[in-house]
Structure 1
Amino acid sequence: MSRTLVIGDIHGGLRALHQIFERANVTKEDTLIFLGDYVDGWSESPQTLDFLIALAEKQNCIFIRGNHDELLLEWLEKSTDNREWYKHGGEATVLAYLKVDFETKQKHIKFLKNLQNYHHDDQNRLFIHAGFTNMNGINFEYFPKLFYWDRTLWEMALALDKNIPKESELYPRRFQLYDEIYIGHTPVTRIGETIPIQKACVWNVDTGAAFKGSLTIMDIDTKEFWQSEPLNELYFNEKGRN
């Protein structure tokens, strides 16, 4: 039986990706939705992109754009010297690309350019890296970069009073537009959690793989999920992101 599985932020942790695929028993019949941030953090960013490119040739994959993916694309195309990016995982990526040939870099550029800003399915479920700000939804967003940079959607979900009914005029309109919203970008470890967390209609699947958390894959229909070992244990000889 085929499933639709959503995967949180990988951040160059290919070992963790292999691990969750094995633990979730992923098959070619499954549809895979990746929420972005495939790179920056651990040492296998180029290998992660190689794996995803090959994977898309075997089964149905949907790749969402993350902010780190855009930063890498900018560097690959323009060799942009971005000190802030280096401090937030980019340094490990730049070092890893020292061993990558020109042809492979071109394949990665093509992959990164073809990432989707979001995926909205026929069951009114939205998959997006970070969020959106327009109260009328994704089709009315004035600033597309917010799809992979915004944190206000998740912050609002965390702050929402559970006693406000969904039909109330006080209930945030952004949460009335979609039945479910799946995001990454802001690790749940910031609020002391280690597993996917639901607030209002928002599911946050970023379980901190960029740092000392695990990578997560979740069945969006049953909400069953599988996790890797903490990334700092899989890459015990690396420091990862601070």
Structure 2
Amino acid sequence: MNRTLVIGDIHGGLRALHQIMERANVTENDTLIFLGDYVDGWSQSPQVIDYLIDLGQKQKCIFIRGNHDELLLDWLENSSDNREWYKHGGEATVIAYATISEATKLKHVAFLKSLENYYLDDKNRLFIHAGFTNMNGIAYEYFPKLFYWDRTLWETAISLDESLEKTSWFYPRRLTLYNEIYIGHTPVTRIGETIPIKKACIWNVDTGAAFKGPLTIMDVDSKEFWQSEPLNNLYHTEKGRN
């Protein structure tokens, strides 16, 4: 069985990643698409990156860039003193890297630089961390950072009148360009959910692992999904992100 599986934001939760890989019975025949934000929040960000590097050598993996991954890269390369980052999960990452060797840090820098801004498959399904703003699509985006910082795509989808026809002039053009769009970045816990949520053509797979939600892996064809225990249970001695 050759499945395509998409994984939501991990945020340093290696224990949860182990759980979903086991619960979904992932094999080397599966293609894995990771939506970014591998780090920041829980205490095992360096170990998550080690795990992903190793996994990518064993099977087909597509690693997409998240905003937290970009923030970590900036810190590793420039020792940037970013107080806002510290408050949003960066502090746990900085502490975790205190015991990591320079050689390993260099491997992690190379991994972070290799991340993709998005992935568009042969079925016109787009996988992206956050979104895009250009009405003509990803190829026309003027500001690539929006691929991993934008929230307006999801905000547009959740505010859309579901009775509106796609042919209507009032239907957002961005939501007509791709058959499906898979995102993370904005946890569905903000709308009171802890499972993947579909709005218009968008599947949001960030189920709040940075906070008190589970980590999710989903089969993009069957829409079956598997989840870890809530991360605050797996890391009960830690505070995670607020």
The answer, yes or no, to whether TM exceeds 0.5 is yes
Structure 1 CA distance, aligned partners of 2:236 and 2:192? 22
Structure 1 CA distance, aligned partners of 2:101 and 2:32? 28
List aligned pairs for 1:72-151, cutoff 5 A: 72-151=72-151
Structure 1 CA distance, aligned partners of 2:125 and 2:169? 22
Structure 1 CA distance, aligned partners of 2:4 and 2:167? 30
Structure 2 CA distance, aligned partners of 1:167 and 1:44? 47
Q: Helix, strand or coil: the match of 2:207?
A: coil
Which residue is equivalent to 1:176? 176
Q: CA deviation at 1:168?
A: 1.2
Which residue is equivalent to 1:153? 153
Q: Helix, strand or coil: the match of 1:5?
A: strand
List aligned pairs for 1:4-15, cutoff 5 A: 4-15=4-15
Structure 1 CA distance, aligned partners of 2:4 and 2:125? 12
Unpaired runs of at least 5, structure 1? none
Give the alignment's TM-score, normalised by structure 1: 1.00
Give the alignment's TM-score, normalised by structure 2: 1.00
Which residue is equivalent to 2:212? 212
Q: CA deviation at 1:43?
A: 0.1
Structure 2 CA distance, aligned partners of 1:191 and 1:170? 24
Which residue is equivalent to 1:30? 30
Residue 183 of structure 2 aligns with an amino acid whose one-letter code is I
- Aligned Cα root-mean-square deviation (Å): 0.3
Residue 61 of structure 2 aligns with an amino acid whose one-letter code is C
Q: CA deviation at 1:30?
A: 0.1
Structure 2 CA distance, aligned partners of 1:211 and 1:164? 34
Percent identity for Structure 1 against Structure 2: 78
List aligned pairs for 1:193-212, cutoff 5 A: 193-212=193-212
Structure 1 CA distance, aligned partners of 2:238 and 2:176? 43
Q: CA deviation at 1:167?
A: 1.2
Q: CA deviation at 1:65?
A: 0.1
Q: Deviations over 1:163-208 (max 9, x none)?
A: 1101111111001100000000000000000100000000000000
Structure 2 CA distance, aligned partners of 1:175 and 1:82? 34
Unpaired runs of at least 5, structure 2? none
Q: Deviations over 1:102-151 (max 9, x none)?
A: 00000000000000000000100000000000000000000000000000
